[in-house]
Chain A
Amino acid sequence: MIENLSLLQIAIVLFVTGSLLGLFSRNSKFTRMLTFVPTMIASFFTVLFSVITITGKPFHFIIPNVLPFINFEIFADGIAAFFLLVISIVSFAVSLYSIGYMKEYETTKRTSVFGFLFNIFILSMILVVISNNSFFFLIFWELMSLTSFFLVIYDHDREENVKSGMTYLIMTQFGTAFILASFLLGYIQTGSFSFDVFHNSSSSFPFLTKNLIFLFAFIGFGTKAGIIPLHIWLPKAHTSAPSNVSALMSAVMIKIGIYGMVRTIFDLGGFGLSPDYSWWGLLMIVVGSVSAIIGVLYAVIEHDMKRALAFSSIENIGIILIGLGLSVVFASLNLTILSALALVASMYHTINHAVFKGLLFMGAGSVVYATHTRNMEHLGGLIKKMPWTALLFLIGAISISGLPPFNGFISEWLTMQALLSSYQIPSTILQISVAFASIPFALTIGIAAATFVKLFGISFLSRPRSEHIAKIKEVPRSMIAGMSILAAICILFGVLPFLGISLLDTAFHLLPHPASPFDAITLQNNSAKSFANLSMPVVVIMLSSMAAAIFGFIKVIGGKTRKTTFSTWDCGFGSLDQRMEYTATSLSQPIRTVFKTLFRPHNKIQKEFFGGTDSYLLKTLKVESVTKNIFEENLYLPIISSCIYIFDKIRKLQTGKINAYLLYIMITVVLLLLFVRLSHNV
């Protein structure tokens, strides 16, 4: 307990140190070291803290009456500690990465401000997770939003960055309003701002209140998590932010939205409610499915690397939500084991997504660092110039596509199994509704793989698509190191899933967990037969022995052969060049066509002729394929324009004529007097 507190204190002090050192050091070579090394150490201490908390007792700490009516309370149980672990692992890797990455900005910007915000951002995320009081939760929550907002617009010379920052800030505030409403509903039931009190007395809340609290929390936290249709800030913000910030935001910050939901559900006793509450889970499954499928569909047509990754984050949040929703549904129907399975699936995916999305954003950052562009149409052939980045990015891509033997596969496998287990649900309607979630889920996994084929294939493989790529270099070692940490975890959590699962079982106090690495993850069906098994270590051994066998076989049969290098088959037309390559847009064209209802693609064609307009000789032909963002156009724009319409009507009140102003006063007073006079009962 005591050493725990001091670990946390050390971490907090280090974060603050890092931020201040950053702020007050001049723009020198050491700034990056001074800012990010304390962050790394602090993150390391936080890892220790969370591991100790997960394995040991919950951690509780109060400073009373900092503010009127409000105590400063910290509480870290397994759940919080688990999320803390996610945060700190990723922030460790990202800070290491940032040491190299921030060199990019050194010539144009004050990196010291960046370091300050960066540290405060991570610190606020940590404090959000362990706050045990709605007021301080909101404080840190908004501090997190605020610092991340500033980080998003760090490169504010470009107007579109500022714009996306604004969208982010407004949406996040929209979410906060709902969170606030949810907390305050809890407050009127309990008369306290402390989560402990919520937790302990939630069972006596009225039905309606409970549902409203959940709904508001879901909308509020969902906005942060980027559920559709509240996601519009996410692609914009993640694209505009420096890549290390995008990594943190996408890997960690949106998970805090998930944390908020988990926490709310736990506090409302959501994993043990009556079937009346199963609509919570259904809602989450529906929203999750929609987010997953639409997110990934937008990701696959995107040719901006970071935007594609951002949309993929929406998709993964959707998958996490499907798992979480299933867990709630199962729990409400008293299927405890299945509920635990689904919860593990969802939380496993949470940590997995944190790891590989962090890795991928850092990879994208490395690409930007080296090439100064995010547009895949200008990239290509990077694997030869940046072999390490390419390898690490590939690991991330495979993991996120849910392919064995990496970590993404495990969590998607678990989620799929949870979906399959829906046959145990006693109600048919519920069964079918849950089971139908498997369709978008399956579609999502399929398209996700395609997305990352495209991302990796177009950016790293084949021929460079623009000239200046020829001169690029591999990124600095600290960046490679930062990415390697997460890549290692991707492999580790894929090959040895028992690590992650036992971590989750301990953190969430679930059923006993596999003891040794070779024990399979086993699920049993109704008749106690094996429903499904998965033992990744065995699979990996099989894969490697198969590899050895076939290698030997080929060597033995084939003997010694020669390898000749020659140019790619060009159908005899002469040398190929980069203009003949497949582009990112053309690669996804079939998918775009298949899902044209969603994308509404249309091609803009600009022709230029030799000698006037109606000549036959084409000089240039430019085809641009434009897709629409249906949410922005059909949901947000109408809302905004109707708001502006109302504003326009209201500003007419301020006519500038004093007569009108006096008239308002006169009308007000007469109305109020008449009201009093008429309501007067003699």
Chain B
Amino acid sequence: MDSVFANITMLLLFLTPVASAILVTLVRKKRTIGIITICSASLILVQVFFLVSRIISEKTVTAFGNMFYVDSLSAVILLSISVVGLVSALYSKNYMGRQYDNAMIDDKHIVRYYQGFNVFLLTMLVVPTANNLGIMWVTVEATTLVSVLLIMLYFKENSIEAAWKYLIIATVGLSFALIGTVFFYYANTNVTSFDDAMNWTNMVHNSKLLDPNLVKIAFVFILVGYGTKAGLAPMHTWLPDAHSEAPTPVSALLSGVLLNCGLYAIIRFHVISSNTIGSAFSSHLLIILAVISVGIAAASIYFQKDMKRMLAYSSVEHMGLISLGIGFGGILGVYGAMLQILNHAIAKPLMFFASGTISQKYETKAMSKIKGIIKIMPVTGALFLIGGFALVGMPPFNVFLSEFFILSAGFQSGQFLAVTLVILFLVVTFAVFLRHLIKMVFGNPVVPMKKDDMGKLAVVPMITLGSLVIVLGVFVPQQLQTLVHNAAMIINHGGFA
């Protein structure tokens, strides 16, 4: 792709949400702004598809000099952002409309919500495309700020609390990430000119020459910093609060995509650090944090009372699994991790949407008060089950495939302790997660209710995701295989496929 064309492509990609945000601000009509956002999200999806197809054929695209750099790894993240973005936008229409009808929010807040939504998409789109690691950091920080605004949309006690914790913890965490980034930069300035020392491509290029000790310290900062953002334990503490208190479509975005952005950043630095000091150091750190994450998530789910909070813990678990895949390494592990990113980005929003619809119907998020979903809302209930089974890694759903690869990689890498622990934790998670899920889905409702699936627009995004969950479990299209394979190669072969 020639550079002008690339510039235009990237510019359009970023301009779409900006334009949409501006339009939303100007129009301010409840119904129209939803549609505007849906349009912009679908436009983004189309553009991303286009970009991804280019990536598949050309491997990399750079734009604006070296400022933006898209390779297969970024493409995987972009794909997840755009898909989840679109389904969230679709779901928002119905969900926020219903919240409005229930007098949960007023017109002003709906406008604010859609503004935030678009800006949030924009910031997330920049993260994986930025080549300059400083810009990446700034946009990750920006995602925090935007999402804090979205979380505290309702101004309820809990959402304010969640927003505060999220803001403080994520900011502190990201300051670590900045330190790490600057350390990397500093290490790089020792061997190259100041001008593009901040660029990832340059850093990878020089990675063999960087100072090992500096890189070690820097990676620790990066891991803790972006790990906070990615929800790795023990920095995950903000996550259950924020994800459960946000409006449901935002929860989907936070869990399905934003966490991936954090991990994406870690992966980028992992590549550099592996080149410099061998992959053992960063892999081991990743594995340790990952095992802790999976373990804590497994243990925490048991006592959950709130549906969305449980899902948030499951996100912690999945982030752990992805890092585990990266940590185990080998083509299988990394491949599994990349696939897991996508699979989780499909299954988790499905669960959030379903839980959103369910809590609207039952007027509560407390799991003890929800019973017999399958009778009241057959379609939602079935999809909720499918999503739940997918999340706990039950075949034939998609997450199983990636987990299978990750665990295979664990065996292959000889990390038997970690793999044994993780398998144990997975079984525990399976048990405790499904215990909650099945109690909700089956049985008889506490109070009699009308059978109702809450409208087509609520169901369509879920069915889309649900069918993806099933199809990707047994069949991965060739293009996607190539893309994910290339992404895995980037990680395994020091940055360039």
Contacts and interface: CB of A to CB of B under 8 A. Distances in A.
Chains A and B touch each other in the complex, with CB atoms below 8 Å apart = yes
A138 B395 contact: yes
Interface string A613-648: 000000000000000000000000000000110111
Contact of B428 (A153, A188, A643): A643
Contacts of B100: none
B278 interface: no
Interface centre among A138, A156, A662, A669 (most CB of B within 10 A): A669
Contacts of A13: none
B407 interface: yes
Chain A binding surface SS class? helix
A355 interface: no
A170 B295 CA distance: 17
B273 to A, nearest CB: 12
Contact of A665 (B173, B213, B404, B443): B173
The 3 closest A-B pairs by CB, nearest first: A156-B442, A661-B237, A650-B299
Interface string B41-85: 000000000000000000000000000000000000000000000
A22 to B, nearest CB: 15
Contact of B224 (A135, A140, A668): A668
Given A650-B296, A665-B172, A146 B431 contact: no
Interface string A155-194: 0110100100110011001100100110011011000000
Contact of B235 (A156, A177, A643, A664): A664
Interface in B320-349: 332, 335, 339
A68 B237 contact: no
Interface stretch (B17-25, B162-170, B250-258, B353-361): B162-170
B412 A177 contact: no
B473 to A, nearest CB: 8
A185 B172 contact: no
B267 interface: no
Given A173-B427, A177-B426, A180-B423, A142 B474 contact: no
B220 A177 contact: no
B216 interface: yes
A425 interface: no
Given A68-B476, A169-B434, 20 more contacts: A68-B484, A138-B400, A139-B400, A140-B396, A142-B396, A143-B396, A146-B389, A153-B442, A173-B394, A177-B424, A181-B420, A650-B296, A651-B303, A653-B296, A661-B165, A661-B237, A662-B172, A669-B176, A680-B213, A680-B216
A644 B476 CA distance: 39
A653 B434 contact: no
B430 interface: yes
A305 B355 CA distance: 40
B217 interface: yes
Contacts of A142: 394-396, 400
Contacts of A680: 213, 216
A489 B300 CA distance: 52
B425 to A, nearest CB: 10
Interface string A644-682: 101110110110001011101101110011001100100
Contacts of A665: 169, 172-173, 176, 224, 228, 234-235
A680 B215 CA distance: 12
B86 interface: no
Interface in A511-561: none
A652 to B, nearest CB: 10
B401 A67 contact: yes
A187 B173 CA distance: 39
Nearest to B313: A654
A676 B299 CA distance: 29
A181 B332 contact: no
B332 A69 contact: yes
B238 interface: yes
A647 B300 contact: yes
Contact of A177 (B216, B339, B423): B423
Interface string A418-450: 000000000000000000000000000000000
A184 B408 contact: yes
A170 B434 contact: yes
A674 to B, nearest CB: 10
B235 A139 contact: no
Interface of B, secondary structure class, is: helix
A672 B224 contact: yes
5 contacts: A68-B485, A69-B335, A139-B473, A173-B427, A654-B300
Contacts, number: 152
Nearest to B427: A177
Interface of B: 164-165, 168-169, 172-173, 176, 213, 216-217, 220-221, 223-224, 228, 234-235, 237-238, 240, 285, 295-296, 299-300, 302-303, 332, 335, 339, 374, 389, 394-396, 400-401, 404-405, 407-408, 411-412, 414, 420, 423-424, 426-428, 430-432, 434-435, 438-439, 442-444, 473-476, 481, 484-485
A185 B419 CA distance: 12
Contacts of B164: 658
Contact of A672 (B220, B431, B476): B220
Given A159-B443, A187-B412, A665-B169, A673 B395 contact: no
A667 B426 CA distance: 27
Contacts of A184: 407-408, 411
A66 interface: yes
Interface string A57-100: 00000000011110000000000000000000000000000000
A99 B296 CA distance: 48
Contacts of A140: 396
Contacts of A69: 332, 335, 405
B237 A654 contact: yes
Given A647-B300, A664-B234, A673-B220, A166 B173 contact: no
Contact of A173 (B404, B430, B444): B430
A658 B235 contact: no
Contacts of B423: 177, 180-181
Nearest to A648: B303
B224 A669 contact: yes
Contact of A647 (B176, B303, B389): B303
A173 B431 contact: yes
A672 B217 CA distance: 9
B476 A658 contact: no
Nearest to B235: A665
Contact of A658 (B165, B303, B411, B430): B165
B412 to A, nearest CB: 5
Nearest to A139: B395
A651 to B, nearest CB: 5
B405 to A, nearest CB: 8
A67 B402 CA distance: 11
B445 to A, nearest CB: 11
A166 B434 contact: yes
A66 B474 contact: yes
Contacts of B444: 157
Contacts of B238: 661
Nearest to B304: A651
Contacts of B224: 665, 668-669, 672
Contacts of B395: 138-139, 141-143
Contact of B475 (A66, A157, A162): A66
Contacts of B427: 170, 173-174, 177
Contacts of A672: 220, 223-224, 285
A673 B213 CA distance: 11
A67 B220 contact: no
B261 to A, nearest CB: 19
B409 to A, nearest CB: 9
Nearest to B335: A68
A574 to B, nearest CB: 47
A180 B439 CA distance: 27
A180 B410 CA distance: 12
A168 to B, nearest CB: 11
Contacts of B394: 142, 146, 173
Given A162-B438, A658-B169, A669 B220 contact: yes
Pick from A140, A165, A653 the residue with the most CB of B within 10 Å: A653
